[in-house]
């Protein structure tokens, strides 16, 4: 889920709403995604937040609910044609794969083991039956690779285009890892390489057609179309005293900002330490974009950002690498900060606030 907790006070401070809370007539696209979600969080917290069964409510990657001693992680994600993908370049198999993958990633980011998935699929009716078969084969493959069961779902007619909702249920033993909890001094570890998925999106959107000859470009496209949630990071996530984690869905900086906000800290990124893959360099050139910008703001990487005590950071990275997950320290938690902040330290030593990433509205 792409949700963020923002206090009513900070919305007022930032002139996003009036002090008396009257935004009723403002349009959703004018208010923007985060203030919108913040209002919902506040309302739901007010009504249901007191219930002891809710261990983690809105404002994290997923919700955590305790039922008869079992701690369930629940998350829902929706993808829509022409908002998240185009049918001309998104094969049915990949659509099914990705729908489940992005929800599994949310469960993993909270330290949970994915157990089962449900899908809601909206079809125009014009699709060949083979499209539906391939969609489900993609979802089945992803489930099998992560140990989750595909329980099925709902199929409806969607005159307005393809639509997929995915729900993943996981189980967490002990405390779920949240966005909040990052401590001053912590190392910020990132798995894998950010920006490749966004580069892949632009390759597809621009119709770059020498893909066959370039495995580097193909890699970016694959990263976008078939993201692999980091389920094999779970062992390391649970055996080290991880303070906070989040997955990169909307962009490295924006998702790190969410961790900073939830943890009320300032995070300093060392811009010289953000790993830029050969694939990203090559793809960025082809699509005419800056590789570093794609890495910082691209989104849809479904890599993990983890805040961990500096005393175990080296060992933690090694544990990830031992299961085949590249891991880099890209920054550290530099100070406490009431609203949370992400700053970048340039090669020349200057430090400035970072922004940018995907917002739905």
Residues 135-174, interacting with a copy of itself (CB under 8 A):
136, 140, 143-144, 149-161, 163, 165, 167, 169, 171
State yes or no: residue 175 binds a copy of itself (CB under 8 A).
Answer: no
In this chain, which of 9, 14, 29, 318 binds a copy of itself, going by CB under 8 A? Answer: 29
Q: Which is nearer to a copy of itself, 22 or 348 (CB)?
A: 22
In this chain, which of 8, 10, 12, 26 binds a copy of itself, going by CB under 8 A? Answer: 26
Distance CA 329, CA 321 (A): 13
In this chain, which of 115, 211, 216, 325 binds a copy of itself, going by CB under 8 A? Answer: 115
Q: What is the largest CA-CA distance in the chain?
A: 59
> At a CB cut-off of 8 Å and minimum separation 6, what does 48 contact?
54, 57
Q: Which of 267, 252, 255 lies closest to 343, judged by CA?
A: 267
DSSP character at residue 176 = P
Q: Which is nearer to a copy of itself, 140 or 211 (CB)?
A: 140
Distance CA 336, CA 147 (A): 39
Residues 30-69, interacting with a copy of itself (CB under 8 A):
31, 33, 36-37, 39-41, 43-44, 47-48, 51, 53-54, 57-58, 63, 65, 67-69
State yes or no: residue 246 binds a copy of itself (CB under 8 A).
Answer: no
| Residues 194 and 295: beta-carbon distance below 8 Å | yes
**Shortest Å distance, C-beta 152 to a copy of itself:** 4
**Shortest Å distance, C-beta 305 to a copy of itself:** 20
In this chain, which of 96, 111, 114, 122 binds a copy of itself, going by CB under 8 A? Answer: 122
Q: Which is nearer to a copy of itself, 47 or 212 (CB)?
A: 47
**Shortest Å distance, C-beta 75 to a copy of itself:** 8
State yes or no: residue 183 binds a copy of itself (CB under 8 A).
Answer: no
State yes or no: residue 335 binds a copy of itself (CB under 8 A).
Answer: no
Q: Which is nearer to a copy of itself, 31 or 305 (CB)?
A: 31
In this chain, which of 15, 20, 27, 88 binds a copy of itself, going by CB under 8 A? Answer: 27
**Residue 47 tokens, joined:** 């009504």
Angle at 14 between CA 345 and CA 29, to 5 degrees: 100
State yes or no: residue 12 binds a copy of itself (CB under 8 A).
Answer: no
Block residue for tokens 């309302």? 43
Residues 258-287, interacting with a copy of itself (CB under 8 A):
none
| Residues 178 and 63: beta-carbon distance below 8 Å | no
Buried/exposed code over 327-360 (b: 16+ C-beta within 10 A; e: otherwise): bbbbbbbbeebeebbbbbbeeeeeeeebebbbee
Q: Which is nearer to a copy of itself, 159 or 241 (CB)?
A: 159
Q: Which is nearer to a copy of itself, 43 or 285 (CB)?
A: 43
- Give the DSSP letter string of 275-319: ---HHHHHHHHHHT--HHHHHHH------EEEEE-HHHHHHHHHH
**Residue 155 tokens, joined:** 């199929």
| Residues 124 and 161: beta-carbon distance below 8 Å | yes
């Amino acid at each position: 889920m792409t949700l963020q907790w923002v206090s009513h006070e900070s919305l007022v401070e930032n002139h996003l709403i009036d002090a008396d809370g009257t935004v009723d007539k403002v349009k959703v696209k004018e208010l923007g995604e985060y203030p919108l979600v913040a209002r919902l969080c506040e309302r739901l917290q007010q009504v249901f937040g007191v219930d002891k069964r809710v261990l983690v409510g809105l404002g994290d990657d997923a919700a955590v609910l305790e039922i008869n001693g079992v701690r369930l992680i629940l998350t829902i994600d929706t993808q829509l044609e022409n908002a998240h993908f185009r049918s001309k370049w998104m094969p049915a198999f990949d659509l099914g794969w990705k729908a489940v993958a992005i929800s599994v990633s949310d469960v993993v980011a909270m330290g949970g083991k994915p157990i089962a998935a449900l899908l809601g699929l909206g079809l125009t009716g014009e699709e060949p039956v083979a499209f539906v078969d391939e969609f489900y084969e993609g979802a089945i493959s992803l489930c099998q690779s992560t140990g989750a069961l595909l329980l099925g779902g709902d199929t409806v007619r969607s005159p307005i285009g393809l639509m997929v909702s995915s729900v993943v249920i996981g189980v967490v033993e002990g405390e779920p890892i949240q966005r909040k909890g990052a401590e001053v001094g912590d190392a910020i570890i990132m798995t894998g390489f950010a920006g490749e998925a966004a580069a892949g999106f632009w390759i597809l959107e621009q119709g770059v057609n020498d893909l066959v000859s370039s495995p580097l470009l193909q890699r970016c496209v694959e990263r976008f179309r078939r993201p692999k949630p980091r389920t094999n990071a779970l062992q390391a996530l649970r055996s080290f005293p991880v303070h906070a984690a989040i997955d990169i869905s909307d962009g490295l900086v924006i998702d790190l900002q969410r961790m900073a906000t939830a943890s009320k800290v300032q995070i300093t990124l060392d811009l010289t330490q953000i790993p830029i893959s050969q694939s990203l360099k090559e793809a960025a050139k082809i699509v005419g974009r800056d590789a570093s910008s794609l890495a910082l703001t691209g989104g849809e990487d479904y890599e993990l950002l983890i805040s961990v005590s500096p005393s175990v950071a080296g060992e933690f990275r090694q544990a990830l690498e031992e299961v085949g997950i590249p891991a880099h320290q890209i920054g550290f938690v530099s100070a406490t900060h009431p609203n949370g902040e992400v700053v970048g330290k340039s090669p020349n030593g200057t430090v400035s606030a970072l922004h940018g990433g995907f917002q739905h509205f």
